[in-house]
A and B are shown apart, each in its own frame.
Chain A
Amino acid sequence: DAGITQSPRHKVTETGTPVTLRCHQTENHRYMYWYRQDPGHGLRLIHYSYGVKDTDKGEVSDGYSVSRSKTEDFLLTLESATSSQTSVYFCAISGQGGLSNQPQHFGDGTRLSIL
């Protein structure tokens, strides 16, 4: 157990509403990531963080923003949700203790449906 928790686990919302997903980790990992997983596409990186207040865009960042105000928490926000953002979202962590060259560990995912 890598000590990573995603919330909520499931959410249904309407187009145009804001949505925030939370990732919480307890083991002092430096790097945190948000991915979405869709059939035929595998896992695609949305945004990642390499430290508190240090974030960067991934492959599919349009329509998403992130924030990391403390080591433990990485928030993913959909400012105005669209149906194309219906997906399963995974948070991942790596770099325990600030070390590099470490693999990622994943949370159990958030299933988001936008109607």
Chain B
Amino acid sequence: TQLLEQSPQFLSIQEGENLTVYCNSSSVFSSLQWYRQEPGEGPVLLVTVVTGGEVKKLKRLTFQFGDARKDSSLHITAAQPGDTGLYLCAGEVVNYGQNFVFGPGTRLSVLP
């Protein structure tokens, strides 16, 4: 079984602060996705990273894929209440035909 760990599990911060959440595994992935999920809804795709060392930016969110394609980080600059939600990372399993394994998520709360 390939496992993805996420840290921290919970994070509560004030509006305007910066934060980083991590997604780690001992397994190599073909690609890695980050999702945000709000209560009562399905996860919504934020980004896909494919190449080791790749960095992608989405407004105030910066995503990095580790050089060995085993880990990833999500950095949020100047967090806003609208960033509140459950952040999930998912790794695409190598050579297993579009199968993905999910981390347990980081629940972020940004207080005004």
Q: Chain A residues near B44: list those with CB within 8 A.
A: 106
CB atoms of A101 and B30 under 8 A apart: yes
Q: Chain A residues near B50: list those with CB within 8 A.
A: 101
Q: Chain B residues near A77: list those with CB within 8 A.
A: none
CB atoms of B88 and A104 under 8 A apart: no
Q: Which residue of A lies closest to B100 (CB)?
A: A104
| Distance between B112 CB and nearest chain A CB, rounded to angstroms | 26
- B102 within 8 Å of A (CB atoms): yes
Known contacts A50-B98, A100-B98, A108 near B48 by CB under 8 Å:
no
Count of B interface residues, CB-CB < 8 Å = 25
- B45 within 8 Å of A (CB atoms): yes
Chain B residues 84 to 108 lying within 8 A of chain A, measured CB to CB, are 88, 90, 92, 97-105
Give 1 or 0 for each of A71-115: 1 = CB within 8 Å of chain B CB.
000000000000000000010101100001111111111000000
Interface size class of A (residues with CB under 8 A): 20 to 34
In the complex, identify which listed stretch (A12-20, A37-45, A62-70) lies at the interface while the others stay far away.
A37-45
- A34 within 8 Å of B (CB atoms): no
Q: In the assembly, what is the distance between CA of A92 and CA of B1, in Å?
A: 21
Q: In the assembly, what is the distance between CA of A59 and CA of B104, in Å?
A: 15
| Distance between A94 CB and nearest chain B CB, rounded to angstroms | 6
CB atoms of A41 and B104 under 8 A apart: yes
Q: Which residue of B lies closest to A43 (CB)?
A: B102
Q: Which residue of B lies closest to A91 (CB)?
A: B42
Q: Chain B residues near A105: list those with CB within 8 A.
A: 45
Q: Which residue of B lies closest to A111 (CB)?
A: B40
Q: In the assembly, what is the distance between CA of A109 and CA of B48, in Å?
A: 22
CB atoms of B33 and A103 under 8 A apart: yes
